Structure 1
Amino acid sequence: MLNFSFVNPTQIHFGQGQIACLSSNIPQDTKVLVVYGGGSIKKNGVYEQVCEALNGHSWGEFAGIEPNPSYQTCMQAVDMVKQNGYDFILAVGGGSVIDGCKFIAAAALFDGEPWDILGKGAEVKSALPLGVVLTLPATGSESNSFSVVSNKDTNDKLPFATPLVQPKFAVLDPDVMKTLPERQLANGVVDAFVHTMEQYLTYPVNAKVQDRFAEGLLLTLMEEGPKVFDKDVSYDVRANVMWSATMALNGLIGAGVPQDWGTHMIGHEITAVYGLDHAQTLAIVLPRLMEEQKETKREKILQYAQRVLGLDTTNPDEAIALAIKKTEMFFHDVKMPTRLSDYGLGEEVADKIVLQLERHGMTALGEHQAVTLEKSRQILIRSV
């Protein structure tokens, strides 16, 4: 096991009716900006619950954070924060809203050009406090310090991270999943699954606790994920999927183990150029990256095949091929396409995305930095 330092200070309030606890988790003397996306929270009852919980607080709202939050929209919220003196951000939404709010919280107090936080890795020295009401289980952004923001003008989708934007608390009520459309449910399950795989499917370092935790998450998502689309889906199914998504990227399973993230880096560029949903890109890239890296990932793919998929690994090569196939089949089980051609895209994608990767310095991806630009190109060509 590798050396690590681990702490996760985000307080989780999990379960039915927990939105009400906002009133006691946000200081009364703060001025709160409630930030959300396209307005679905006004149709599913979440907005009303938030309003009721904030009764007695001074607060305003900012709507319109997009899927793949844009720098341009986030800066409008930053201006609103500065003009009106807001000193607490409440993100009500999924990963995109939360990521956008992390940037807003940092940019509002940043001395300089805020794009430098993303474009130049400028140090964030302070940020407004942030809380979350999660409406879409997917990214795990509700309890980590990472954010990804896109610049619509330059086709850049770039990350930043700082403990200063780690949410103080997150409210997770599985009932909010009842009104989610099929596309968002699919995105959430796939996102959580691939987050887990990025930290698990590398090479062994005898981190038995992390491996078993990751395998438990993968098994849960494979068992429960397809059920979220059923008309009579139970609360327990929703609860297990929601908690899996949070646990997949709160730092626990990634502590002390090598991590990949090549699928994400390639996927980010596809989103930036072609506008596909984040999880849609992950489902396209992961099976092909597994195939490209099947030798360097051999031991862990066989472990995954045996422990998670229950495959016979007597013939290792056959087991690896079947594990990759079954991974892609799982994506289909949760109603997620797995080919660029499913979105009307072809081999022309490879050249454009490789140029993007090169422009952003993503020339050696993966846990061994072994995925060169040419290998990324082959992954993309095979993804058609």
Structure 2
Amino acid sequence: MKKFLLGLAIIGSVFTGCGSDDDTSVTPPATGTITGTITTDTTYPYGNYTLVGIVKIASGVTVTFDKGSTITCNKTTGDNALVVLNGGKLVVNGTASEPVVFTEASAVPGSWGGIIMYGDAPINAIGGVASSTSEDGNALPYGGTNAAHNGGALHYVRVEYAGAKLGDGTKENNAFTFYSVGSGTVLDHLVAYKGADDGYEFFGGTVSATDLISYGNYDDAFDWQDGWKGANNSNWYGYQTVKGNFGMEIEASNNNNAFFPTISNITLKRAAGTTPEVAGAIEIDAIQFKKEGNGNFNNVVIDGYGNYTEASVTYEGVGIKIQDAATNTDQVNASKIKVTNVKLSNTTHEVKGATDAISVSFPSGNYTTSASATGASITTGNWTTVNGASLIQ
């Protein structure tokens, strides 16, 4: 199999030449099957590939996909996912006009495991421990001391219809899942499209991400835990439709950390008629802080998080929800949560505790509103459309 794939790379290089700006629309696409553990550096030229099984990129190995490629799996073959093991690198060279798409043949949310990346950057997991075991079905250790861990570079990548359980994993996977990934990794212009769990989830680590779109994912648009502290995040756009829980679910595994992530330019929208993922789980707020979650957020647009009625009971949506008393005391009152320049519309409450016993009062300057807030600034192109429909609503 490896010889076959390397042959494809050589053939593809003959077709595409040396220039990175060659037009793939006039290049015959390569084809092939990607399976097993990849143990040698491999480049997949522009093409249409089939991914079969839980494909792993071994430590010390770099796997590269050229722009315009499509990688398709099929749930009828069993569990499928692309896993970057700690020490491995995934490089995806998509462009705004020719993104790289990872998808599943049935186009049903929850049909495969998406892209999962492991690193050895620091984490702070439950109990304050510096290492933990992944919940993705691979049951691999994550966490370390290498803050600058480099898992590669993802440019203009779309992951579709992910969210499947792998093996005996304890929960669904996400479109993109990052376990203790470090700041040397580049995450730029990514789309999580119609998955059955979160669009993006960070389990600790120091990686940052720019220009993210989360569209139509059943759980949260964005989620993190285990002390994630990415410091240079910007342009995050979440659009929830049909099913969806929180726009952002923010927690720190019950650790009162001295640090927090920073994100600027955020848009969170919830389409009319969107329901929670599971009946009885009333998760309808734009941003929920719990279990000592914190962060610094600026230029935030929130729209559509209004009331939801279930079994004749009406629940009121909130822009900023503080879920528990410890988070209110340790994070809000201690100025570890800052949400500034916020513009809200079609949302019932601006700021609220989960119960009447949680009285939320931000210190001066830590929560501010602005009618001129713009939210995410997404430059549109082929990468922001699916089947001709724009993802920016």
Bigger fraction of residues in strand: 2
Same fold per TM (> 0.5)? no
TM-score using structure 2 length: 0.28
Larger relative contact order (CA 8 Å, sep ≥ 6): 1
Taking structure 1 as the reference length, the TM-score comes to 0.29
